[in-house]
Amino acid sequence: MKTESKLEKVFASGNLAVTSECGPPRGSLPNHVREKGKYLEGVVDAINVTDNQTAMVRMSSLAASVLLKQEGLNPLLQMVTRDRNRLAMQADIIGAYALGIDTMLCLSGDHTQFGDHPMAANVHDIDSIQLIQMVKAMRDEGKFQGGADIKGPPKMFIGAAANPFADPFELRVLRLAKKIAAGADFIQTQCIFNVDKFEKWMEQVRAHGLHKKCYIMAGVTPMKSVGAGRYMKNKVPGMDVPQELVDRMGAVPKEKQPEEGIAICVETIERLKKIEGVAGFHIMAIDWEEKVKEIVDRAGLLPRPQV
């Protein structure tokens, strides 16, 4: 074991791990975070707390993570390289660890163009792979990037993202290999709708032996409506939603669509469970946290293991 992370312990126990996410509010009301967190209590092993997702200003990931921690929940700090340079990131990493946060996800972040501050500078002092390297060196060597010793190195369990559906496809597994070489302990993938394509990606992952070097969590998202499905299919770069799923959502009346979306999500998890190398699930129910419990339950992933 590299860390005290609960997520690491769940992986190590051989159980399928389950994570979900909580997007912090666009304001300073702490109850918003607590309420979202409540839906996930006892349902998941860790809760991703997003970092200015879609390049919109939100309560900081660190602050919202601490709010969840105070409720006895287990936050997973997301950190993007878009908004801060390496000084600020290292400061937040040791600060987070001092506040009891031991698991994080290293990302480059959505481009500012997608958010409501397109006039802001994109920092990108380092990229996501370099961030992984930095956190690993902080943890394992007890060194800041500048070379100085850290008094009390942050023992972070290090996560990274992978998108099996973006282009160039042949580079997707190689990029994963690079993230693992940099020090990623676990991976959360982009939302999987096209299971066939994900299987092809996993074949390559196994061919490279990467599933033995890190834990791969398959990302899933329940569609709330046929409109949401169409939006993800057509408007979100790097998302792959097969037409047949959109048609299936469209074939049921509007009021039944949320139920259908949940059913599809549960079926997807069942299919993904059979794929060798899948170590868990990351359920991204965006502003739909109240449904995560039902998904986890119906997918046979409750109760969560006590580790």
- Name the residues that contact another protein, by CB under 8 A: 82, 86, 108-109, 111, 113-114, 122, 124-130, 133-134, 145, 161-163, 165-168, 170-171, 174-175, 177-178, 181-182, 190, 237-238
| Smaller CB separation from another protein, 114 or 231 | 114
The answer to whether the Cα torsion of 29, 34, 39, 44 is positive or negative is positive
Question: Quick one: 4 or 127, whose CB is closer to another protein?
Answer: 127
Spell 212-232 as b/e; 16+ CB within 10 A means b. Answer: eebbbbbbbbbbbebebbbeb
Q: How far is CA 99 from the centre of its chain?
A: 21
Angstrom distance (rounded) from CA 267 to CA 265: 5
* CB neighbours of residue 2 within 10 Å: 15
Instruction: Select 3 or 133, whichever has its Cβ closest to another protein.
Output: 133
Q: How far is the CB of 217 from another protein (least distance, A)?
A: 15
Least Cα distance to 89 among 101, 77, 100, 81 occurs for 81
Question: Closer CB to another protein, residue 42 or residue 238?
Answer: 238
State the minimum distance, in angstroms, from the CB of residue 173 to another protein: 11
Min separation Cβ 216 and another protein, Å? 15
CB of 167 to another protein, least distance (A): 5
Q: Which is nearer to another protein, 60 or 108 (CB)?
A: 108
Distance CA 55, CA 239 (A): 18
Q: Is 171 helix (H, G, I), strand (E, B) or coil?
A: helix
Q: How far is the CB of 159 from another protein (least distance, A)?
A: 15
Q: Helix or strand or coil: residue 8?
A: helix
What is d(CA 10, CA 108) in angstroms, rounded to the nearest whole number? 26
What does the longest C-alpha to C-alpha distance in the chain come to? 61
Residue with Cβ nearer another protein (49 or 184): 184
Q: Is the CB of 34 or the CB of 175 nearer to another protein?
A: 175
For residue 114, the minimal CB distance to another protein (Å) is 8
φ/ψ bin of 180: left (φ > 0), alpha (ψ from -120 to 50), beta (otherwise): alpha
Cβ nearer to another protein, comparing 140 with 290: 140
Q: 238: phi > 0 → left, psi -120 to 50 → alpha, else beta; which?
A: left
Q: How far apart are the first and last CA of the chain?
A: 13
Closest contact distance (angstroms) between CB of 179 and another protein is 8
CB of 2 to another protein, least distance (A): 20
Nearer Cβ to another protein (162/278): 162
Tell me the CB-side half-sphere exposure of residue 292, using CA atoms within 13 A: 29
Alpha helices in the chain (DSSP H): 6-12, 30-38, 61-70, 86-98, 128-136, 169-182, 195-207, 226-235, 243-250, 257-273, 292-298
Q: Least distance to another protein from the beta carbon of 163, Å?
A: 3
